[in-house]
Chains A and B, each alone.
Chain A
């Protein structure tokens, strides 16, 4: 057991899977110079055929990953920053998500698209997006949003071995967080299995990606006030661990969904709807969302940070919810 950061977990997962399976290769913009440190030493280990710098052409190389996967390769695409997926929407939505279906199961697209949620650092609207919920709206894409290094490594290894296309959203606010890492080369966390990150009895806080550490901090604050928070981390949004979420809400009777995405049609919205549809009878109050306001992210740090979910906003929502609580009729 050695500690590793979230970024190191990405490097380890890729390195181990590329060592294990010659069909796995990685490509993207500036892989060789290794912008974020997730491909350190890869060219020496695997050579330039399997570690490919691409021209700036996201639709082209993400589409090429689709083609390569269809003929038996298992590409990892590093799309650097989440907003860079937008030029590739054609290939992601029309080819990658739909080919297996539209050709009646003849096509198989085992590929991973990695991209970073790069928000909260004064990079303005075009570099601060958290777009995973947009992709939840199209069937055919698995979506992972790990919140710590341990989950990242286990889930990314699972994603690379998965026969379906997976979008891996990497939350930059988690980059430096560390976990103890198992030595087992087959350490895998299957997609679709969430985790209770903290047990509690009063409110279930279902948090996404970088909101999980915030929810855990909020739980510490609230514990001192006698409010017991259960923090639920779905870890992947597609597939979504609905039983885990519903079980927790049935236990606590209250729910807050926390999500760095824009509020409208966010993952938080979908999870809230799930709870209301399937656990309404257990609820002692409204399901509250703590998400990012429906405005673009401004450059100025004076007005950017307050727009995202914060510990204070989660604490305030919990206090409101407990205060507004109605007893469940017997």
Chain B
């Protein structure tokens, strides 16, 4: 466990708070119709994302998933462009062309939050290969869920990283469900970590509700990767409180009192207790929470004040050069 309290501990708490507040606000305005499309929330998994990302340097790479709000915030992204993206605005991090499933901020090392399950894993292996070929010591960390580990992309990416000893860290955020399908009915091994054996890859299982534990596990993996020791699979045991996506209706099987049980080990509650025990004043934490709430409110105001993209923008960034705009849009 890291020493408490210190700036790093407070930063972990701040980033978890940012994710929770950002999503709570997003969910509310989504329900009010202000955010189009689907919204896949990360609530419950904050310690996994923050613990993993805090173990990285800013210039390390990170690839995430369709549950894409938590990862960039955990890596240190600014909130304004993220919220503007949710609203489909031109000031959005992806200029309004990615939306909720693709909040990817390249300025903090993120290389994509991809919404095809498992598809980020080969990309992360390739980013790690890029580091190796360039002779730098950057590592590439990839988040994915338990469901992704049944995809070919997982096995191909793990295999490639293992045979080439790439500086990659594969973080499986095992939240127990692939959309509505429980992991126990789709994964024949007890722990995802067992799958690393097939690639002679070290694996670590960690309590995904404990941000310090996740940080410690990922730090070990990062050190191995950075010093030429190759990839590691880290499995964080975690849980998402919401359904797969908040506008898809009740597609999850009845989880009984499971959600309430997991909420008893809410990562923010646990960490606040730990910080308090270590002597951080409640007022300090309350102030931080208010600051974060203000930050989210500011981001939402910025998003609301921003313009939507021009129609012509639909033809930009398909290639380096903008495509011609068809007549039916210019007439």
Contact = CB atoms under 8 A, between A and B. Distances in A.
Contacts of B283: none
11 contacts: A62-B122, A63-B157, A64-B126, A64-B129, A67-B125, A70-B112, A70-B127, A91-B122, A100-B318, A139-B323, A142-B319
Contact of A67 (B105, B140, B164): B140
Given A63-B126, A64-B160, A103-B97, 6 more contacts: A64-B125, A67-B124, A73-B130, A99-B112, A106-B93, A164-B319
A55 interface: yes
A102 B105 CA distance: 12
A72 interface: yes
Given A99-B112, A101-B318, A60 B127 contact: no
Given A60-B156, A66-B122, A71 B127 contact: yes
A221 B132 CA distance: 56
A291 B319 CA distance: 29
B106 interface: yes
Given A95-B123, A105-B95, A71 B102 contact: no
Contacts of B45: none
A106 B119 contact: no
A307 B42 CA distance: 54
Interface string B133-177: 110001010000000000011001101100110000000000000
A25 to B, nearest CB: 6
A279 to B, nearest CB: 16
B116 interface: yes
Interface in B97-133: 97-98, 102, 104-106, 111-112, 114, 116, 119, 121-133
Nearest to A49: B133
A68 B104 contact: no
B44 interface: no
B71 to A, nearest CB: 13
A327 interface: no
Nearest to B153: A59
Contacts of A75: 126
A57 interface: yes
Interface of B: 61, 63, 92-98, 102, 104-106, 111-112, 114, 116, 119, 121-134, 138, 140, 152-153, 156-157, 159-160, 163-164, 316-320, 323
B111 A61 contact: no
B218 to A, nearest CB: 19
A160 interface: no
Contacts of B164: 52
A199 interface: no
A95 B63 CA distance: 12
A217 to B, nearest CB: 35
Given A102-B94, A102-B102, A66 B123 contact: yes
B114 A95 contact: yes
Nearest to A165: B319
A90 interface: yes
B319 to A, nearest CB: 5
Contacts of A103: 93-94, 97-98, 102, 104, 106, 112
A303 to B, nearest CB: 35
Contact of A104 (B96, B126, B130): B96
Contacts of B93: 103-104, 106
B157 A60 contact: yes
Nearest to B319: A164
Contacts of A90: 116, 119, 153
Nearest to B321: A164
Interface in A100-157: 100-108, 139-140, 142
Given A72-B134, A105-B317, A94 B119 contact: yes
Contacts of B119: 63, 90-91, 94-95
Given A49-B133, A99-B112, A104-B96, A140 B319 contact: yes
B129 A68 contact: yes
A50 interface: yes
A180 interface: no
